[in-house]
Amino acid sequence: MILNEIKKKFYLHRCKKVAKSYGDNFKVNGESYTTPKTILGNNVNFNGMKIQGNGNVIIGDNFHSGIECMIITSIHNYDKGNAIPYDNTIISKDVTIEDNVWLGNRVTILPGVKIGEGAIIQAGSVIVKDIEKYGIAGGHPAKVFKYRDIEHYEKLKKEGKFH
């Protein structure tokens, strides 16, 4: 038990030290990494988040990740490069995650994606394109299959009821 607490403190310290900025009440409960281009809002909870690449990552308030999630912001140039399977060119694209987003376990987010406010992403999903506000998405590639009850969501938001 004590070892787990030491690990949590280490991961939190490392994420804070590397990230460009972070808000109040930042929690890290599992092995996690940020980059110098990571901006975190208030009440961000990582339960195992690995952020990698050269693109910017902006995560809004009240974010929660499951275990073993990954945000990738850079890819190899495979399409227009001068070698196969890819050349030495790195293509970086930003990732934006708006407020009140929840990622299930083992979600992977690819470069250039925006996840809208209040979205929920099912465990094991791969996000390859933008997810709309309030969307509940899943699969590989992830697709929105349902939406939150927006009226109820807005009521809880107005009342300041955040986990």
> CATH code at 51?
2.160.10.10
Q: Residue 163 domain-assigned?
A: no
Give the mean model confidence (pLDDT) for residues 130-147: 98
Least confident window among 8-12, 53-57, 81-85 = 81-85
pLDDT tens readout for residues 14-47: 999 999 999 999 999 999 999 999 999 999 999 9
Residue 91 in any domain: the answer is yes
Per-residue pLDDT, 81 = 86
pLDDT value for 17: 98
Residue 80 confidence (pLDDT): 86
Residue 46 lies in a domain: yes
Question: Domain total for the chain?
Answer: 1
Residue-range definition of the domain harbouring residue 62: 2-158
Mean pLDDT of the chain: 96
Domain membership of residue 144 (yes or no) is: yes
What pLDDT does 103 receive?
98
Is 89 inside any structural domain?
Answer: yes
> Which residue, among 137, 119, 118, has the nearest Cα to 128 in the 3D structure?
137
- Residues sharing a CB contact under 8 Å with residue 16, sequence separation 6 or more, in sequence order: 22, 26
pLDDT for res 9: 95
Task: Check whether 1 has a pLDDT greater than 80.
Answer: no
* Within a domain: 15: yes
- Domain membership of residue 98 (yes or no) is yes
Q: How far apart are CA 29 and CA 65, in angstroms?
A: 10
User: Is 100 a member of any domain?
Assistant: yes
- For residue 74, the model assigns a pLDDT of 97
